[in-house]
Chains A and B, each alone.
Chain A
């Protein structure tokens, strides 16, 4: 097991090296001089030369990449040229917001997605099957920015039940000390239940927006996987033993049909961890996604490189964890590639 994890970590390191090459050259190959984009209409030749020098853009590419790798080996992602903040500090400050939102969205999509999948599978070919599958098709097809705006229009404007942006009402936030930058935890640490409830209500609309696509995918995956298992003979046996239908489905069938669902959950989770750019933008959520978006717009090279690397790393780690979870759910899968 340990050997397996080490092997996986090594392959992650190699992949990260590949990603580093990719992000480095990606940023340098897109047309347009980064210095000129930063200076805009006001760019004078002197200012451009000076800025290129400061950004290290006047060096040959291989030297720039060498420096980038060297810094990376020292876990130094550099400083943002725009804000002069250390990239790693910025990431650590933004990441909790993204994690909190992702967990809420995944919680929402797992609970409702698996639930809907079970209902559809059990009622196969009946009204509820069609309803949930139609709903999930709509969920997959819905553009996120549209869904987000509609939810805001409905639940924050027409019926002002939930707040439409940010993580906490601004006046409440003034009294909260941010120790962990997880607002649910920070408000609890402050012993402020009003603020905690407020933070929860701030999570609801963005979590629904972000969770809708994964919900739909999870529902469809649960349904098809469960249907497959339900047709197997041991299920028939369980029914024949006279076990209640509920027990058969939840205990016998669901556990065995969960693996493909788990794969999907893992992928979506890793994906969302990278910061949901659109959702964070619409809900003014100060997370990794909106931060990266701003960096790309400003052609702020170091944050783009550091941010993408970080997201890639998180994605790989989540996948590793999912693979390890497989073994738990399916003892037939033996780590080290000896799957049956």
Chain B
């Protein structure tokens, strides 16, 4: 008996020690100011109107959404809504709101606030519909078309009805532009609300010196528990090299967008750490299937075999990108890793060209991306590399480029043979890639589907995947879509650019989110 007690005692003591030691390692330190260096300033802080990453980066920490993304995943979890359910036909969504939450200005959060925040975006007759500019995300995510009504059933229940079943809805409504704002503050500031944002989030707005910095203070009464940091300061430091020097000097704690050439030096710096994650984006070379000879499958496959993708990505992205084989990135659910990519083989390419009736190759145009985008950092260099690979198999590609606006206009109008473009998703649903980039509907000019790939089979699957809510079935459908894509190959999928943040090692628990939204509520600073 005694022995048994002793044994129990030892085990309990050991467990205590382990938990103490564990706590010492991971208990966040409360307090401190995190200074985050970025390339540019926010444009506005009214989430409904914004559309750029620098604005959302700040908004994410001031506001909450009904449901929110889990850490490092595009799955959703309860936010301002504690729970939700959907009707069998997928048309009615009911959200049960969290009680006892207050906005930073002290006014209570309830169904009225949700109605106000969402109906101002949706209802053209809402008194605030025309205040502060267009609601860009509400229309471009399709919610403007899909949502029918938004109503309150009682003080803490919201019901949203849709015009057609739309499975990505719950992932869409988790996005920052659909944050819940304080109606009181909006009525007070009107258009100027963008400079005086009030939400329910883990941090409150304190100050904004445009072009210079945004300051947020911790919200001690946050419903999810106070964030460890006392304050976050977002500083705009446009020059990449200077931003790095500031990080090395210790005057900022974290930064984005280093020069690729600086990465080796950063890896050697003992005070710094690189945090990276494959981003939710894809850079691709679209082959215009309305043009000859790219309408021939064998020719498209030949182009895929002709380009030495892995070499190009290694050199051009400096480790900041991974080669792509599917239209969606590996971080997206339903990604099919079993697809075998078309490997680099000039011989195979020549053989395919021969079979297709082009033994001597052909002349074509290769449209080079004129500006650096997250998914293709240097379009001109990429074009040169692709051009020389193609020449090796007899394809003579002339590089064409225009300024960004003209470039977009012309490729959306289908004037190109082969053109580079890409897509960055900020919403965790494969539909966001597939439907906009590869559906037949998107092949209407001005097109999002700039390969002008029209497959009834694909279209059918994509529409079906939109209308059912069963995640397992949808995964099956998107896997099928990837297989069809792989069979028809309207693109050369090039790369998924990684998302990179460089931090001072004092910064703890910074997690990157695939959507590139940046949440600071869990970060803390070591002494």
| Given A32-B404, A43-B412, A153-B245: A286 in contact with B239 (beta carbons within 8 A) | no
- Answer whether residue B408 sits at the interface, using C-beta atoms and an 8 A cutoff: yes
Do A170 and B235 touch (CB < 8 A)?
Answer: yes
- Answer whether residue A51 sits at the interface, using C-beta atoms and an 8 A cutoff: yes
Contact partners of A50 in chain B: CB under 8 A: 134
Interchain CA distance A267-B464 in the complex, whole Å: 67
Among listed B12-20, B181-189, B204-212, interface-contacting one: B204-212
A169 to chain B, nearest CB (A): 8
| Given A170-B233, A174-B215, A284-B237: A90 in contact with B409 (beta carbons within 8 A) | no
Interface residue total, chain B, C-beta cutoff 8 A: 49
Chain B residue nearest in CB terms to A178: B209
Interchain CA distance A84-B48 in the complex, whole Å: 14
Do B235 and A166 touch (CB < 8 A)?
Answer: yes
| Most B Cβ at <10 Å: residue of A163, A167, A294 | A294
- Answer whether residue B403 sits at the interface, using C-beta atoms and an 8 A cutoff: yes
Chain B residue nearest in CB terms to A40: B408
| Given A83-B43, A84-B194: A284 in contact with B235 (beta carbons within 8 A) | yes
Contact partners of A173 in chain B: CB under 8 A: 209, 213
Chain B residue nearest in CB terms to A153: B245
- Answer whether residue B140 sits at the interface, using C-beta atoms and an 8 A cutoff: yes
- Answer whether residue B238 sits at the interface, using C-beta atoms and an 8 A cutoff: yes
- Answer whether residue A36 sits at the interface, using C-beta atoms and an 8 A cutoff: yes
- Answer whether residue B264 sits at the interface, using C-beta atoms and an 8 A cutoff: no
Do B140 and A157 touch (CB < 8 A)?
Answer: no
Chain A residues 159 to 188 lying within 8 A of chain B, measured CB to CB, are: 160, 163-167, 169-171, 173-174, 178
Interface residue total, chain A, C-beta cutoff 8 A: 52
| Given A94-B211, A291-B211, A294-B40: A42 in contact with B140 (beta carbons within 8 A) | yes
A275 to chain B, nearest CB (A): 11
Cβ-defined partner of A90 (8 Å) among B33, B210, B249: B210
A284 to chain B, nearest CB (A): 4
Do A164 and B403 touch (CB < 8 A)?
Answer: no
Do A36 and B408 touch (CB < 8 A)?
Answer: yes
Contact partners of B406 in chain A: CB under 8 A: 31-32
| Given A83-B43, A157-B248: A283 in contact with B242 (beta carbons within 8 A) | yes
Chain B residue nearest in CB terms to A31: B406
Interchain CA distance A294-B251 in the complex, whole Å: 24
Do B408 and A41 touch (CB < 8 A)?
Answer: yes
Do A82 and B43 touch (CB < 8 A)?
Answer: yes
Contact partners of B194 in chain A: CB under 8 A: 83-84
Do A282 and B35 touch (CB < 8 A)?
Answer: no
Contact partners of B236 in chain A: CB under 8 A: 284, 286
- Answer whether residue A299 sits at the interface, using C-beta atoms and an 8 A cutoff: yes
Interchain CA distance A46-B139 in the complex, whole Å: 9
Do B238 and A284 touch (CB < 8 A)?
Answer: yes
- Answer whether residue B278 sits at the interface, using C-beta atoms and an 8 A cutoff: no
Chain B residue nearest in CB terms to A90: B210
- Answer whether residue A8 sits at the interface, using C-beta atoms and an 8 A cutoff: no
Contact partners of A40 in chain B: CB under 8 A: 408
Contact partners of A30 in chain B: CB under 8 A: 403
Do A156 and B408 touch (CB < 8 A)?
Answer: no
Do B242 and A284 touch (CB < 8 A)?
Answer: yes
Cβ-defined partner of B405 (8 Å) among A84, A282, A284, A299: A299
- Answer whether residue B402 sits at the interface, using C-beta atoms and an 8 A cutoff: yes
Contact partners of B248 in chain A: CB under 8 A: 157
Interchain CA distance A104-B261 in the complex, whole Å: 34
Q: Please list 13 pairs of residues, one from A and one from B, whose beta carbons are closer than 8 Å in the complex, sorted by A's number.
A: A31-B406, A32-B403, A32-B404, A42-B140, A44-B448, A54-B134, A82-B43, A93-B210, A149-B241, A166-B213, A281-B239, A286-B212, A294-B211
**Interface residues, chain A, CB within 8 Å of chain B?**
30-34, 36-37, 40-48, 50-51, 54, 82-85, 90, 93-94, 149, 152-153, 156-157, 160, 163-167, 169-171, 173-174, 178, 281-284, 286, 290-291, 294, 299
**Interface residues, chain B, CB within 8 Å of chain A?**
33, 35, 40-41, 43-44, 49, 51, 132-134, 136, 139-140, 191, 194, 207, 209-213, 215, 233, 235-239, 241-242, 245-246, 248-249, 251, 402-406, 408-409, 412, 421-423, 446, 448
In the A-B complex, the 4 residue pairs with the smallest Cβ-Cβ separation, listed nearest first, are A32-B405, A286-B211, A37-B405, A286-B212
